[in-house]
Structures are given as C-alpha cells and as structure tokens.
Amino acid sequence: MYLLTLLAFIFHQVFELKDVIRRRKAYGSKRHLWENLRSTIRILLVEDWEQLMDLLLNEDDYDATAVKRE
C-alpha cells in the first residue's frame, strides 16, 4: 500500500510540475497571469468562469466583436 501511495504522489508532482511549466510558457509569471485576467474581466463579457479561462488559454480560438449599447 505504501508503494502505491508513493507512486501516486510522484505522479501528482510530475503533473503539477508540467502544469507550472505550461503556464509559465503562456504567461511568464503568476503576476502577469492575474493582470491579464483582471484586464480581460474589465473589458469582455463572458458567461462563466470556464469560458474566461478558455479565452485566456486559447486566445486564437475566439473573435472579439464590438457591440454598441442602446
């Protein structure tokens, strides 16, 4: 049982490290990530948190359009 727990811990650490590396490539730092998030929230309307995160991580998949308020 101990070995399975240790193996799960090692896999968790590897996946977490991989996620940090991917995030750093996209944004450079956590501060830059939060500044980008804050500015996006101020400018764009999104339906939910998942759409906001998808927009930030996959910017090329979205088209921005301006809508005039009546």
Q: Which of 61, 60, 67 is nearest to 45 (CA)?
A: 67
pLDDT band of 33, cuts 50, 70, 90: confident
pLDDT at residue 62 greater than cutoff 80: no
Does 69 fall in a domain? no
Q: Which of 49, 51, 70, 48 is nearest to 61 (CA)?
A: 51
Does 66 fall in a domain? no
Residue 43 has a pLDDT of 78
Does 42 fall in a domain? yes
Residue-wise pLDDT tens digits, 11-23: 888 888 777 666 6
- As a whole number, mean pLDDT of residues 40-50 equals 79
Q: Which domain holds residue 48?
A: 2-61
As for how many domains the chain has, the answer is 1
- Angstrom CA distances, 51 to 6, 34, 38, 45, stand at 35, 16, 14, 10
Q: Which of 62, 68, 26 is nearest to 47 (CA)?
A: 62
Looking up tokens 């977490």 gives 16
Does 67 fall in a domain? no
